[in-house]
A and B are shown apart, each in its own frame.
Chain A
């Protein structure tokens, strides 16, 4: 049964990714991306990381896909229903396949002996985040603030240099 879910979710994940890089329509690419991200969230559930699955659905499925759709709508280009790829796309495909082969070999060579799956409670994760990882957490919040201010400054209409 768990194999069935794993295979279905893997097909969603990788198939959605292939849809993103293969489709000719930008809006379809965003919807394929959503499918892939939800597949990854399902794989997190299989890995007993419920919290990360929720974060994945809220932030990726809810926020990032919407922001990308806004980017598509605000930069409405005539080419969007039928975009084209670079001329050197076969080289890109060969490079990506070679990288995949390298990763698989690397995972085979350096395979940690691990069979037990651990379930992590929300409370343990939160305690760890606010004790051992408190400083990185604060730095991440400053990073988000800086990115927000920077995005507003870059995208703002007008300004001194037009």
Chain B
């Protein structure tokens, strides 16, 4: 019998992998992909809990739908910013974008 804890462990592992990607990668596109992994881990956790715990308004499922919506908006905006960055600096490596660092 698969319990809630198993899904939570998978979700925690996926979140940790995404966290490592955000911290260790240099390319902005790869950081975006790692953020998608973390959002998916959160969604998996929400849906696992909502599927095991009784709720009359399906909070977990609906919040997961909103997370997917916001992730889509985020990817669209981030793509625009990455394109702009590449046009101005000919690079998408985040450690070379230090204009606002002092």
Chain A contacts to B: CB under 8 angstroms:
2-3, 6, 10, 13-14, 17-18, 20-21, 26, 29-30, 33, 36-37, 40, 43-44, 46-49, 51-52, 55-56, 59-60, 63-64, 67-68, 70-72, 74-75, 77, 79-80, 83-86, 88-89, 91-93, 95-97, 99-100, 103-104, 107-108, 111-112, 114-118, 120, 124-125, 128-129, 132-133, 136, 140, 143-144, 147-148, 150-152, 154-155
Given contacts A10-B10, A63-B72, A103-B15, contact A74 B83 (CB under 8 A): yes
Chain A residues with Cβ under 8 A from B69's Cβ?
Answer: 140, 143-144
Cα–Cα distance between A33 and B21 once the two chains are bound (Å): 12
Chain B residues with Cβ under 8 A from A67's Cβ?
Answer: 75-76, 79
Identify whether the interface residues of A are mostly helix, strand, loop, or mixed: helix
Chain B contacts to A: CB under 8 angstroms:
1-10, 12-21, 23-27, 29-30, 32-34, 36-37, 40, 43-44, 47-54, 57-58, 61-62, 64-66, 68-84, 86, 91-93, 95
Task: List 9 tightest A-B contacts by C-beta distance, closest first.
Answer: A92-B23, A147-B73, A100-B16, A96-B20, A21-B21, A103-B12, A114-B52, A155-B80, A17-B17
- Of chain A, the residue at the smallest CB distance from B22 is A92
Chain A residues with Cβ under 8 A from B71's Cβ?
Answer: 60, 64
Chain B residues with Cβ under 8 A from A21's Cβ?
Answer: 17-18, 20-21, 24-25, 30, 34
